[in-house]
Amino acid sequence: MGFTIGRAADLLPFPASDTHKYARGKVVVVAGSPRYPGAAVLAARAAQRMGAGYVEAVVSAPAVLPVRIAGPSLVVSDRGEWDPPVLESGPGRPLAVLVGCGFDAAGDAGECGRLLRLALDRAACPVVVDGGALGLAACDEMRRALRLRAGRGVATVLTPHAGEAALLAEAAGLPGDFLSDPPWRFCERLAQAYSAIVCLKGPDTFVSDGSETYAIDQGGPELAKAGTGDVLAGMAAALSAQRQGDVLCAVTTAALLHAEAGRLAADRRTSIGVIPEDVIDELGSAIQRVASFR
Ligand SMILES: NC(=O)C1=CN([C@@H]2O[C@H](COP(=O)(O)OP(=O)(O)OC[C@H]3O[C@@H](n4cnc5c(N)ncnc54)[C@H](OP(=O)(O)O)[C@@H]3O)[C@@H](O)[C@H]2O)[C@@H](O)CC1
Ligand SMILES: Nc1ncnc2c1ncn2[C@@H]1O[C@H](COP(=O)(O)OP(=O)(O)O)[C@@H](O)[C@H]1O
């Protein structure tokens, strides 16, 4: 249940001296919407800071230029044209897909559903499902798609907050008493119901693959600000790309570093003033702190 800092330290993806950008992991961030373009920038930036060597942001047409300006090192494309044949890690070229941060499922359900289905069907690599895509995942069709992915041996990660977790539980027909379960048990049941790794976010965060569950309790209330979840999703995707063989521990390590970075940001800005961008900025110091436990 406990996840030691030493364990996280061993998973840190320090690059080898002879590496190249693709060897450090590519993350495709399918995120944002005309209403929430900023979520794509937060997630993509966090993936870069978490070590991904190549980050592609697939965003709505009106967001292409603003995202290019916000992140000149991002490769940005129009989601309306996104129709990849297959997305798979090549030898020495790890890949992961993040889908859903900043999806506006109410305003844009058709296009968001298409993007989620494409990601789940075509990505033979870890897929992290966050934000507005979680509501779309809360149905039998998507649960079947997740079961198929698990059968193919590829990990899917769901990152709900309590509200999104309640939607997922209801759609999976989990008994109405699930809310009275201890949160780790609820997280475990959700993971089983969706054949996925579930990262249940809150003041304490739980990460489960349905049999093994870890708790991260280092986070503080400075993280309770719109956009910090997008940062965690980008970090989780980057580490999942780089640690494909152990996505459960990769996501747990991301949650631990996110909590540490929040704490370091609060030391500088106070728990009142921290914004998600500060959490990204402190990620390097959080990595250094965790690395000192190696
Ligand atoms: N800069 C950007 O572009 C940003 C974009 N963002 C993106 O926008 C999209 C929509 O996100 P959002 O924040 O508008 O709605 P969301 O959080 O789903 O809340 C909906 C309802 O859920 C509930 N609820 C919420 N939190 C809860 C909790 N912890 N525990 C329990 N319940 C909770 C609550 O319902 P209530 O309980 O009040 O009935 C709330 O009214 C999404 O894709 C996201 O990624 C954001 O990341 C922000 C920065
Ligand atoms: N009181 C709190 N203490 C510690 N961490 C928190 C607290 N409130 C929220 N968080 C963390 O902040 C993040 C918020 O994510 P989320 O609710 O998805 O926000 P958003 O969608 O606006 O980005 C999660 O990682 C969650 O664990």
Picking from 135, 19, 44, 60, the residue whose alpha carbon sits closest to that of residue 97 is 44
**Beta strand pairing status for 156-158 and 127-129?**
parallel
Read off the pLDDT of residues 178-190 as tens digits, 9 standing for 90 and up: 667 899 999 999 9
Pairing of strands 205-208, 213-216: antiparallel
Torsion of CA 191, 194, 197, 198, to 10 degrees: -60
* Cβ of residue 201 lying under 6 Å from some atom of ligand 1: no
Contact by Cβ (8 Å): 26, 95:
yes
Cite the annotated binding site for AMP by residue number: 201-205, 229
Numbered residues of the known binding site for (6S)-NADPHX: 39, 102, 161, 230
Centroid of ligand 2 to alpha carbon of 162 (angstroms): 10
> Is the minimum distance from the CB of 116 to ligand 1 under 6 angstroms?
no
Segment 115-143 mean pLDDT? 97
Tell the burial category of 49 from Cβ atoms under 10 Å away from its Cβ (0-12, 13-18, 19+): buried
183 lines ligand 1 (CB under 6 A): no
Q: Which two tokens stand for residue 18?
A: 């002879």
Q: What is the whole-number distance in angstroms between the Cα of residue 86 and the centre of ligand 1?
A: 31
Closest ligand to C-alpha of residue 230 is 2
Sequence-ordered list of residues with C-beta below 8 angstroms from that of 175, at least 6 positions apart, any chain: none
Residue 196's domain comprises 5-291
Give me the pLDDT at residue 178, please. 63
Q: Cβ neighbours of residue 245 under 8 Å, at least 6 residues apart?
A: none
Domain total for the chain? 1
214-261: per-residue pLDDT in tens? 999 999 999 999 999 999 999 999 999 999 999 999 999 999 999 999
Q: Are 253 and 4 in contact (CB under 8 A)?
A: no
Ligand 2 interacting residues, C-beta cut-off 6 A: 131, 161, 201-203, 205, 219-221, 223-224, 226-230, 232, 258
Q: Relative to the CA of 219, which ligand 2 atom is closest?
A: 4
Helix (H) or strand (E) holding 199: strand 197-200
The β-bridge relationship of strands 54-59 and 87-88 is unpaired
The Cα–Cα gap between 29 and 100 comes to 8
- Say what the pLDDT of residue 99 is: 98
ipTM of the complex: 0.96
Mean pLDDT of 110-139: 97
**Binding site: which residues?**
39, 102, 161, 201-205, 229-230
Atom number in ligand 2 closest to CA 202: 27
CATH number of the domain within which 258 lies: 3.40.1190.20
Name the least confident of 82-96, 127-141, 249-263. Answer: 82-96
